[in-house]
Amino acid sequence: MSDNNRVIIFDTTLRDGEQSPGASMTRDEKLRVAKQLEKMRVDVIEAGFAIASPGDFESVKAIADSVKDSRVCSLSRALDADIDRAGEALANANAGRIHTFIATSPIHMEYKLQMTPDKVVEQAVHAVKRARNLIDDVEFSLEDASRSELDFMCRIIEQVIDAGARTINIPDTVGYAVPEEFGHTIGQLIQRIPNADKAIFSVHCHNDLGLAVANSLAAVSAGARQVECTINGLGERAGNASLEEIVMALRTRKDILGLETGIDTTQIVPASKLIASVTGFPVQPNKAIVGANAFAHESGIHQDGVLKHRETYEIMTAQDVGWNANRMVMGKHSGRAAFRSRLEELGTSFATDAELNSAFARFKELADKKHEIFDEDLVALVSDTRAEAANETFKLVSLSVTSQTGETPVATVTVNINGHEEQAEAAGSGPVDAAFKAIEAIAQSDAMLQLYSVNAITEGTDSQGEVTVRLEKSGRIVNGLGADTDIIIASAKAYIHALNMLHANVQKAHPQV
């Protein structure tokens, strides 16, 4: 494909997506996601915000060190310390990019930055020049561009291109734009800026009005050639433009848009499932492309049409995006080598033999409870094993629950706290409530339960249940994950995982602050 009709896919799941309350990922989880994005042939992976915390720095560095086929990017404010930290994290990248930004809308410049427009231009130019001294590939973003004045945007963009920026990102930071307006803005910028031909124009759209994908497509129709997006549309507030929707729209409507990407679309569904498992944000059944009902037909008229000729009601195939692809059933007779090989195909590798042995032991336990184990089970099993192994201040030792009609459920739980076992008993309105109250009687975290969610991983009554527990304490929000064929045990695991996440107390800065 030619450069003129090639759209660069810039994935920011690991940075903007992770800013969803409770969606924080560990270093190992980020590495797993990055390797899946690389396998999907994402052009640019925004690995994080290097200066936000030591953990973010280590995650960006680890991804930069291990990813070879995608460009690895770190976000930075237009500040010297941010830029230097990003450069340090990307030092060993096969292909790296520093992505620096500053706000350009009147409301942000006056109230947030408290800077004059002249000072904003000066700082932007300085930031780009400093970044170019560290790395060849620099992207510059105009935060809140959709509420910025066109003349001012032309002025600052022309100067940062002269300073060395080779990608110019126009974000709809607050999801304010509508497609016709946003496309017109992109077209005007490209037309009016004298040196626009020296940079690739990019867009980053939020979904506050449900228009992120539509705005992104309007922008590429107007000449933008990079789209910043996330798996499952994950992101702050209402989320970001969904990678899967943009890629499949470009592919399916190439007759109108005339544009292509380099994405391996068969890896879309595996990436979606991995993100849902790692973050605890399940995909709604009617979500386009990756929802469970995306290719389901219940209407008799629809079913009849599809049976006669698939294209009567389907504009793409389920196999094109990874549904039903590479679906292998494993059982209790499957060996360690097959277990390891299948997980590697699913994008999961093991750092040590001890980690493999622990996960394989859990696999054998699950195989005794569940006749057929599918890919989804394996991904959930590994996530659950790693959740238990990480930050283990609290560890579930045993759980007993009594629940019967007409009686108040009672749970007895034993928890290991840094090597010391404690037991508590509590009654609740249901068995899960009783289990949580018993755990809380031991932990005494005083955290508020914000979300309790259960999803069946596969079909059937013997399916594993994957539970998400979201806790909040002192403004900090964390997600805990747990999986088991017993929903009560899965719930207790998820609550304990959330407690461990709170206890880790990892603090990070927000890039917009």
| Domain contains 256 | yes
239 and 311 co-located in one domain: no
Sequence letter at residue 405: T
400 and 486 co-located in one domain: yes
Map residue 266 onto helix, strand or coil. helix
What pLDDT is attached to residue 303? 45
What pLDDT is attached to residue 411? 97
Do residues 232 and 270 lie in contact, with contact meaning Cβ atoms separated by under 8 Å? Answer: no
Number of folded domains that form the chain: 4
What pLDDT is attached to residue 324? 66
Q: What is the mean pLDDT of residues 393-402?
A: 95
pLDDT class of 306 with cuts at 50, 70, 90: very low
Is the pLDDT at 301 greater than 50, yes or no? no
- Name the DSSP letter for residue 19: G
Is the pLDDT at 355 greater than 90, yes or no? no
Sequence letter at residue 250: L
Do residues 38 and 69 lie in contact, with contact meaning Cβ atoms separated by under 8 Å? Answer: yes
Q: What is the mean pLDDT of residues 290-301?
A: 68
Q: What is the mean pLDDT of residues 20-36?
A: 89
- CATH number (domain holding residue 268): 3.20.20.70
247 and 321 co-located in one domain: no
275 and 410 co-located in one domain: no
What pLDDT is attached to residue 259? 97
Q: What is the mean pLDDT of residues 131-144?
A: 98
348 and 463 co-located in one domain: no
d(CA 197, CA 201): 9
198 and 260 co-located in one domain: yes
367 and 479 co-located in one domain: no
376 and 423 co-located in one domain: no
Is the pLDDT at 299 greater than 50, yes or no? no
What the block records as the tokens of 181 is: 């307006």
Spatial strand order of the sheet with 476-484 comes to: 448-456, 465-473, 476-484
Exposed, middle or buried by CB within 10 Å (0-12, 13-18, 19+), for 324?
Answer: exposed
Is the pLDDT at 504 greater than 60, yes or no? yes
Q: What percent of the chain has pLDDT over 90?
A: 65
| Domain contains 509 | no
What the block records as the tokens of 173 is: 């930071």
CB atoms within 10 A of CB 446: 8
What pLDDT is attached to residue 347? 67
115 or 279, greater pLDDT: 115
- Name the DSSP letter for residue 406: T
Nearest alpha-carbon partner for 289 in 264, 325, 324, 323: 323
Q: What is the mean pLDDT of residues 28-53?
A: 95
What pLDDT is attached to residue 91? 98
Q: How far apart are the first and last CA of the chain?
A: 40
**Beta strands 44-48 and 394-402: pairing type?**
unpaired
- Of 325, 346, 363, the residue that ends a domain is 325
Choose the weakest-confidence range: 33-37, 180-184, 351-355: 351-355
Report the interhelical angle of 179-192 vs 150-163 (nearest 10°): 50
170 and 68 co-located in one domain: yes
- CATH number (domain holding residue 438): 3.30.160.270
| Domain contains 478 | yes
**What is the Cβ-side half-sphere exposure of residue 23, based on CA atoms within 13 angstroms?**
23
| Domain contains 288 | no
Exposed, middle or buried by CB within 10 Å (0-12, 13-18, 19+), for 270?
Answer: buried
380 and 394 co-located in one domain: no
What pLDDT is attached to residue 268? 95
Do residues 154 and 117 lie in contact, with contact meaning Cβ atoms separated by under 8 Å? Answer: no
**Beta strands 465-473 and 476-484: pairing type?**
antiparallel
Do residues 143 and 511 lie in contact, with contact meaning Cβ atoms separated by under 8 Å? Answer: no
What pLDDT is attached to residue 507? 63
Could you list the residue range(s) of the whole structural domain that residue 472 is in?
A: 390-504
Phi, psi of 182 (to 5 degrees): -70, -45
d(CA 412, CA 426): 7
**What is the Cβ-side half-sphere exposure of residue 13, based on CA atoms within 13 angstroms?**
32
Nearest alpha-carbon partner for 104 in 149, 138, 139: 149
**Beta strands 71-77 and 476-484: pairing type?**
unpaired
The model carries a pTM of 0.86
Count each helix (H run) and each strand (E run) in the chain, helices first.
17, 14
Compute the mean pLDDT over every residue in the chain, rounded to the nearest whole number: 90
| Domain contains 289 | no
What the block records as the tokens of 336 is: 């360690």
Q: Residue 259 contacts by C-beta under 8 Å, 6 or more apart in sequence?
A: 5, 6, 7, 220, 250
219 and 165 co-located in one domain: yes
CA 140, 144, 145: angle at the middle one, nearest 5? 65
| Domain contains 124 | yes
What pLDDT is attached to residue 338? 83
Q: Which helix (H) or strand (E) holds 142?
A: strand 138-143
**What is the Cβ-side half-sphere exposure of residue 342, based on CA atoms within 13 angstroms?**
25
444 or 301, greater pLDDT: 444
Phi, psi of 94 (to 5 degrees): -65, -40
